Amino acid sequence: MKTKRTVRAARLRRHQRVRERVVGTPQRPRLCVFRSLKHIYAQIIDDQLGHTLVAASDMEADLRSRANGEKPARSKSKKAASEPEAAPADQGKAKKDVAGLVGGLLAQRALEKGIKMVVFDRGGYRFHGRVKALAEAARKAGLQF
């Protein structure tokens, strides 16, 4: 019998424990965070309806351009599109800074939809590093939790 427990399985068990207590309502939806090794995603969910109200991630084009220190992407000519872009690996921001951008963008979108108070679901992750940076940026942008 296989008894070795993986890190992912342990996180999922922690997440289940957190989700027993943390529930999003229409008055106070749930801010859910998922982080992978490269990216971070956040969404605000109304659990009673099962709908995602607002979402943001570092995969979005405008956030990617800000994270890499570039100007927002514009339409390119055929010649420029055929040439590969060469960007040094150390040019972009740290993952923690990108998580802060995602938290700020999520809070901005939530406030536009009239969502001011949320309950924070850390997704089984420790509240430090990228998860903490996202939460602090969302608080700073005006979300209350």
What are the Cα distances from residue 87, in Å, to 71, 73, 91, 93?
Answer: 14, 15, 7, 13
Q: How far is CA 80 from CA 66, 75, 83, 143, in A?
A: 21, 10, 5, 41
Q: Is the pTM of this model over 0.95?
A: no
Architecture of the domain delimited by 13-73+91-141? 2-Layer Sandwich (3.30)
Return d(Cα 55, Cα 1) in angstroms, integer. Answer: 41
Q: What is the pLDDT of residue 91?
A: 55
Q: pLDDT grade, residue 63 (50/70/90)?
A: confident
Place 110 in a pLDDT band, splitting at 50, 70 and 90.
very high
CA-nearest of 134, 74, 70 to 105 is 134
Residue 119 has pLDDT above 70, yes or no: yes
Distance of alpha carbon 121 from alpha carbon 12, whole angstroms: 13
Q: What are 4-50's pLDDT values in tens digits?
A: 778 889 999 999 999 999 998 899 999 999 999 999 999 999 999 99
